[in-house]
Structure 1
Amino acid sequence: MRRAFAAFGAFGAFWGVWGGAVPRVQQQAGIGDGQLGFALLFIGAGALPAMLLAGRALDRWGLRFSAWAVGALGLAGAGLALTAVNLPSLCAGLAVVGATSGAADVAQNAVAGRAEAVAGRPVITRAHGIFSTMVVLGSLASGLTSSLPLVAPFAGVAVLALTAAAALPHGGDQDRGAPAPAPRGPIAPLLLIGTLGALAFASENAHQSWSAVFAHDVLHSTVGTSAIAPAVFAGTVAITRFAAGGLRPPYARIVLLAGAALAALGAVVIALSPTLPVAALGLVVAAAGTAVLFPTLVGIVSRDVDESHRGRATSVVTTVSYLGFIVGPVYVGLCAEAIGLRGAMLAVAALGVVLAALTPTLLRPFRDRPGRGIPR
């Protein structure tokens, strides 16, 4: 269990530091906003294929691969900070970061899933809570070290990631999966779970990416005050994940339906908010709803999959879900162009409604399997 928490902590610290360091990375590379936007696409370009391949590697090498993936992410971040001096080097560095991040994402969720299966009590949601907490702390650390060379905060993350990697077992038959046998059972149920995860991530990243813009452009708050909005969202996500971490598997379906409803309600409150405090209330409600969605879905898959195929199952679900993470902010942007930011928030609310409507149907392949972990 502690190993899963360490992996998620290192992962969150990396992305927290990255979020706070983006302006400095842009300045060091000497590029404009448009070029930065182009370069950021390479994160997803590197992550998606790595996620697909990571599952087979996990099933073959088990926790040993997890250690490699987590440690490599920290080193990739430090390497990026040292070498991103123009657009080509930044694109190459972000592709490597994306690949290691994608592999580490699949690995840490598989580690948490295994820990939950072995311990017989909730682990995944709390692990995601640690991730969210470390994102906030990493962002603050990045700001506090802004007077130091860019590599300094990333070097700190590298140390943390390597420490987490060292905590994961590196050998022993009990730490290895099967030698990559052919997957058992249909892949379709995993794709259905991934579809729900994509809707959840689209909603979550829409708020994380656009809440400050909404506060500034629609509610006319200052730049400094607007920056509080994503922090409110991330902080609420972390608190909710810790609070909900003790919920048992029989409540999984209820948690998903309640989370989707809260996500939709929060987005509606934001869309209709006349002032920043009301919008902040909507962000809290939306964050509380989205916080429980993906961890609950990973838990469902974790309880239903054979250990020898845990890596590939986690890989499929995580990869499909990640598509929503990429598309979510773009979805808001397109809607905002057509119907304004308030209308775009209503479009985000629609994601929660669709998720709630699809949940009973898309979970049925799991629920109907006797003796498995999915509640009836």
Structure 2
Amino acid sequence: MCIVTHMSGSEIVSGRRAAYAGFVVFGAFWGAWGASVPAIRDQAGLDDGRLGLALLFVGAGALPAMPAAGVAVDRWGRRPAALLLVLLGAVGTAVALTARDLWSLSAGLALLGAASGAADVAINAAAGAAEQAAGRPVITRAHGFFSASVVLASLSTGLLAGAGAPAFLPFLLVALVAAGLAPVIAAGGRAGAADRAARRGTGTPGERADGGGGPARARPAGEAAPEGRAGRPAVRLAPLLLFGGLGALAFAAENAHQSWGAVYLADVLGAGPVLAAAAPAVFAAVVAVTRFSAGRVASWRAATVLVCGAVTAAAGSSAVAAAPSAPVALAGLVLAAAGTAVLFPTLLAAANDGVGHAVRGRATSVVTGVAYLGFLAGPVYVGWWADATGLPGAMGAVAALSLALALAAWPVLRAVRRPTGNKGCTF
């Protein structure tokens, strides 16, 4: 059962601020991490092959933590996000201090992955709740704050490293920023209280927990349906898996460019170190600008945005694959970044549409968990194709991922938004 939540204007603003603050901290961490990897690799005495092995433990830690985070969010609201972001900064500091060989780095990265995966679910659930309560774009703009924070944090970490600062300092600063923003991220609103009341069975049947009031709509994605185990509202699993599958394609293309852009410019086009290093920064900056500017459009018509974004991303990847020079490849990266920028936020917003507060954490954990597989697989996918066809061929294979998303987006959205009654797998 669900209840109506009547949120005041201040509570809605609080929700948006919490979402944006959470993504700022999360982006700051990953910006610091990306810029710190060479120093941590050297400190642990690893070559690139063993570093790649150690990095697999990030995913090994993240994937099992994501469902647990979803349950925690459903029970305690935004507070887990605040705690997890502080923990993420602390774990990053510990990894930078203690990673002295393959095993210590791998163990630290498993903990880091668990904290990161759980925080990812928590902040995305917070953004979804804020968007539904406000009735205006939040998710795409929150991801824009993430991308902007990645750029700023990576540049700041590079400056600190150039000044001779220890490797742990950027992560300690992230932990301090997270602690400072924790009250903003965890702040009030009635969503948590509404969730607890809904689980106790209070409220009027047929009313919505997303604050919309009136009769419940047809369930377009993972909205609470029949009662699940222990009286909890159930989540329709199949639509969320479909959204997660599309998200995996989006993340695979995005992380492929982010991880291989500099290598492509250096190895294929002979770019110097400075120009090659600009590739990931340019990509992330364009993603941030696109997400800020496309926030309102991305919430307008999901299928149109997804198809246009995926086609644009495919065109950018194809331009990179055929580029005769580094400037042309950078232009292709700009196009690919603009296309991929809108994909996952739009998918997450569509998956959140109609999902009740009492199950939002679990629903978000399914979508982000499946999509995260694509994030992990993207760089590996490029490496496999590079071995088989060379890097230009691999960039063509990345374009194929985006085209597959463009072809699948409209049928998937139509299927999951068809009224289904109480049919479908639940958990």
Match of 2:408 among 321, 335, 358: 358
In terms of mean alpha carbon deviation, does 192-201 or 52-61 score higher?
Answer: 52-61
Tell me the distance in 1 between the aligned counterparts of 2:317 and 2:71.
Answer: 38
- Cα 1:172–1:349 change in 2 (3 A) is closer
Match of 1:27 among 42, 47, 70: 42
Identity of aligned residues (%): 56
Superposed displacement of residue 207, structure 1: 0.4
Q: Which residue of 1 aligns with 2:307?
A: 257
Q: Which residue of 1 aligns with 2:256?
A: 206
Contact 2:88/2:115 (CA < 8 Å) preserved in 1?
yes
Superposed displacement of residue 172, structure 1: 7.9
Q: Which residue of 2 aligns with 1:117?
A: 132
Map residues 10-89 of structure 1 onto 2, 5 A cutoff.
10-89=25-104
Tell me the distance in 2 between the aligned counterparts of 1:207 and 1:194.
Answer: 20
Tell me the distance in 1 between the aligned counterparts of 2:414 and 2:231.
Answer: 26
Q: Deviations over 1:14-64 (max 9, x none)?
A: 000011111111122222222211111111110111112211111111112
Q: Which residue of 2 aligns with 1:310?
A: 360
- Cα 1:2–1:357 change in 2 (3 A) is same
Amino acid of the structure 1 residue aligned with 2:278: I
> 2:339 aligned with 1:324, yes or no?
no
In terms of mean alpha carbon deviation, does 254-263 or 67-76 score higher?
Answer: 67-76
Tell me the distance in 2 between the aligned counterparts of 1:152 and 1:249.
Answer: 38
> 2:357 aligned with 1:342, yes or no?
no
Q: Which residue of 2 aligns with 1:197?
A: 247
Q: Which residue of 2 aligns with 1:374?
A: none
Match of 1:145 among 151, 154, 160: 160
TM-score w.r.t. length of structure 1: 0.95
Tell me the distance in 2 between the aligned counterparts of 1:149 and 1:217.
Answer: 31
**RMSD, aligned α-carbons:** 1.6
Superposed displacement of residue 229, structure 1: 1.1
Tell me the distance in 1 between the aligned counterparts of 2:270 and 2:235.
Answer: 53
Q: Deviations over 1:138-173 (max 9, x none)?
A: 111111111111121111111111222222236786
- Cα 1:58–1:214 change in 2 (3 A) is same
In terms of mean alpha carbon deviation, does 323-332 or 58-67 score higher?
Answer: 58-67
Q: Deviations over 1:165-204 (max 9, x none)?
A: 2222367864253458545252000000000000000000
Larger fraction in helix: 1
Amino acid of the structure 2 residue aligned with 1:334: W
Amino acid of the structure 2 residue aligned with 1:41: L
Q: Which residue of 1 aligns with 2:184?
A: 167
Tell me the distance in 2 between the aligned counterparts of 1:129 and 1:171.
Answer: 24
Ranges in structure 1 where 5+ consecutive residues have no aligned partner: 371-376
In terms of mean alpha carbon deviation, does 90-99 or 57-66 score higher?
Answer: 57-66
Tell me the distance in 2 between the aligned counterparts of 1:329 and 1:181.
Answer: 42
- Cα 1:169–1:228 change in 2 (3 A) is closer
Superposed displacement of residue 86, structure 1: 2.1
Superposed displacement of residue 304, structure 1: 2.4
Tell me the distance in 2 between the aligned counterparts of 1:256 and 1:104.
Answer: 25
Tell me the distance in 2 between the aligned counterparts of 1:169 and 1:149.
Answer: 31
Contact 2:319/2:332 (CA < 8 Å) preserved in 1?
yes
